[in-house]
Amino acid sequence: MPKLPFEDWIKPLTKDTIATLPSFLRNSAKQLYIDGREQPCAEGGTLETYNPATGQVLATLARGTSEDIDRAVAVARAAFNGPWSEYTPAERQGVLLSIADAIEANFEEFAQVESLDVGVPLHRVLGMKGAITNIIRFFASQALQCRGETFDSPYKGDFTSMILKAPVGVVGGIIPWNAPLISIWWILGGVLATGCTTVIKPAEDASLSALLMARVMSEAGLPDGVVNIVTGAGSVAGSALAHHPDVDRIAFTGSTATGREIIKASAVNMKRVQLELGGKSPDIIFDDADLERAVPGAAMGVYSNSGQICFAGTRVFVQRSIQDEFVEKLSAFSKTVKVGAPTAQDTMLGPLVSQAQLDRVMGYIQIGQDEGAKLVSGGNRLGGDLASGYYVEPTVFSGVSNDMRIAREEIFGPVISVIPFDTAEEALALANDTEYGLGGAVWTQNLGRAMKMVHGIKAGQVWVNCYGLIDPMVGFGGVKSSGYGWKGGTRHVDGYLYEKAVTLKAS
C-alpha cells in the first residue's frame, strides 16, 4: 500500500488535502487529449466529476462537442494514414510492450485515480495490476497474429487465391464508468495490435484514468494521434462519434438502450459495430452444491465492484429443498461484507459511482418491497461517517418471482434476487426467460447437471462452480440484448481487420 494520507481523500478536500492527491489530479481542470497533447474543447464547456466517497467535486472535465469529435477523428485519420501505417507487426508489439511496462511503473497513480473517481476500493485496483498488464501483453502477442489465408487456385495457370486482412481504420470507442481502467483496454488492445487508430469517449462519471492513460502512452512512445480522448456528454460527444461518417468501426460498452442508438447511428456509413451491453445473469444453485463455496461465490458474483458489473449473477435460482438454508447462509455472509471507504484495507465494497446510481439502486430496493419480495438483509444507505458518500448495504431479496421488475431489469448495484425452482428444466426455462444473454453459472457436484446447464443457458459465457473469472486468452461476449462481437481471445483482432479477397496471376 503506498504511503499517502488516504484518510484525507475520504473527507471533503481542502487546500491542504488537495496537495496529497496524485499529481495528475492536483490541477483539477482537465482538457481533451488529441494529437499527443492536452487541448481545450471548442466551446469551452465543462463537466464536473465527483468523488463517490464524499459526494464532492473531484475534477472538472472538458465538455467536448461534435466540433471536438470532428477534430479528433481528423487527427486519428491522419495518424492512420501516416507513419503509424508503416509500423511492422513487431514494432506495434514493441509499442504495446512499452506501454505495459509504463503502466506497471505508474500503476499506483492509476489505482489512486481510478479509486477516487469510481469509488472502487484502492487495494482492489492495486490488485488488478497483473490482470491489466497481462491483457496488454496478450494484445502485444496478437500484433503478430494478423494473418490471412491462401488457397489452391480453382483456375488453371499461374494463379493464387488469398484473403488478406487490413486494419479497418478509425475506431470510435465508447466506454462506461464501472471499470474504465480495464474496459478501455478491450478497445485499445485491438486498435494497437492491428494498426488502427481511435477516438475514445469515456463516461461522464469516470474519465480520469483514460486521460491519464493517454498521457502515459504518449510518454511510452505511442505516436501522436493514434489514441485520442474526447470527454463530454454521451448524448453530444458520444452521439457525434457514433454518427461520424469517417469512423469505420464502433466498439461500445454500456447500456442496452444506448446500444440500440449506436446501431441506428451506424447506418450513416455502414460502420462495423461491436456491442457489450447489459445483463441480468442467472446463477443456478442445485441441492448438491457445496454451499461453503456456492454462498460466497454467488454473493460476490453480485457484490463485486458494488454490483456495478455487467455480468453480475443477480438472479440467484435456488433449488427449493435448500432454499431456506441457502437464504439464511447468504444473509449471514452478506452481513460480513464490509462496506466502507475505498481507502481502508478491510473494505470489500466501496460506494456506488454517483448520486444518480445511488438513487437508481435505492429506487429498485423500494420497488422490490412494493412488488412483495421479502427483504432479508441490507436495503439501506449507510450513514454516520459515510453519509455524504454513495454507500449501500449488500442487499438480499427472497421470495422473488422471475416476472418482478427486480428480476427483469438491470439494477447495477449490490442487490440479489433469490428465486426458487424445483427441476433442472424449470431452472433453465427461468434462467433463459430474460431479454439478456451475457453470463450465467451453475453450482453442483453432478457433472451431468452442470453440462445440461452449460448447454442450455443462452449466454455468452457460463461458469461452473465459480463466478466471473475472465481469461483474456478465451475472451467473452454476449447474445440477445446483451450485444454481439467477441472481446479477448485470438478472434478479437479479427474485429479490427477487414478481409480482402485477392486473385493473383503471377505471369
Cell of 466: 465459480
| Sheet order of strands, 249-253 included | 37-39, 32-34, 227-229, 197-201, 170-174, 249-253, 272-276, 483-484
Output the smallest distance, CB 258 to ligand NAD, in A. 3
Which residue, 174 or 418, has its beta carbon nearer to ligand NAD? Answer: 174
CB 328 within 8 A of CB 398: no
Which residue, 180 or 296, has its beta carbon nearer to ligand NAD? Answer: 180
Output the smallest distance, CB 191 to ligand NAD, in A. 17
Output the smallest distance, CB 261 to ligand NAD, in A. 4
Counting contacts by CB under 6 A, is residue 438 touching ligand NAD? Answer: yes
Site string for ligand NAD, 188-227 (x = CB under 6 A): -------------xxxx-----------------------
**Given the rule CB under 6 A, which of 209-217, 234-242, 280-288, 376-384 is the region that contacts ligand NAD?**
234-242
Cell of 243: 454518427
CB atoms < 10 A from the CB of 376, how many?
18
CB 213 within 8 A of CB 200: no
Q: Which of 255, 446, 465, 490 binds ligand NAD (CB under 6 A)?
A: 255
Residues 6+ apart with CB under 8 A from 119: 51, 52, 53, 306, 342, 350, 351, 352, 353, 389, 390
Output the smallest distance, CB 118 to ligand NAD, in A. 11
Counting contacts by CB under 6 A, is residue 234 touching ligand NAD? Answer: yes
Counting contacts by CB under 6 A, is residue 314 touching ligand NAD? Answer: no
Catalytic residue among 276, 328, 425, 466: 276
- Show the DSSP H helices in 273-418 as ranges: 291-303, 323-336, 355-370, 405-408
Output the smallest distance, CB 336 to ligand NAD, in A. 27
Output the smallest distance, CB 425 to ligand NAD, in A. 28
* Residue whose grid cell is 453442483: 444
Q: Which of residues 457-486 bind ligand NAD (CB under 6 A)?
A: 478
Counting contacts by CB under 6 A, is residue 379 touching ligand NAD? Answer: no
Counting contacts by CB under 6 A, is residue 301 touching ligand NAD? Answer: no
Counting contacts by CB under 6 A, is residue 178 touching ligand NAD? Answer: yes
The radius of gyration of the chain's CA atoms, rounded to the nearest angstrom, is 24
Residue 371 appears among annotated catalytic residues: no
Counting contacts by CB under 6 A, is residue 412 touching ligand NAD? Answer: yes
**Given the rule CB under 6 A, which of 133-141, 273-281, 315-323, 370-378 is the region that contacts ligand NAD?**
273-281
CB 442 within 8 A of CB 432: no
Instruction: For the chain, report the end-to-end CA distance as a whole number of angstroms.
Output: 67
- d(CA 83, CA 104) in angstroms, rounded, equals 27
Residue 310 appears among annotated catalytic residues: yes
The residue type of 102 is A
- d(CA 72, CA 12) in angstroms, rounded, equals 35
Counting contacts by CB under 6 A, is residue 437 touching ligand NAD? Answer: no
Output the smallest distance, CB 166 to ligand NAD, in A. 27
Please name which of 422, 299, 309, 406 lies closest in space to residue 362, comparing C-alpha atoms: 406
Supply the residues annotated as catalytic.
276, 310
Residues of this chain that bind ligand NAD (CB under 6 A): 174-178, 201-204, 234-235, 238-239, 242, 253-255, 258, 261-262, 276-279, 310, 410, 412, 438, 478
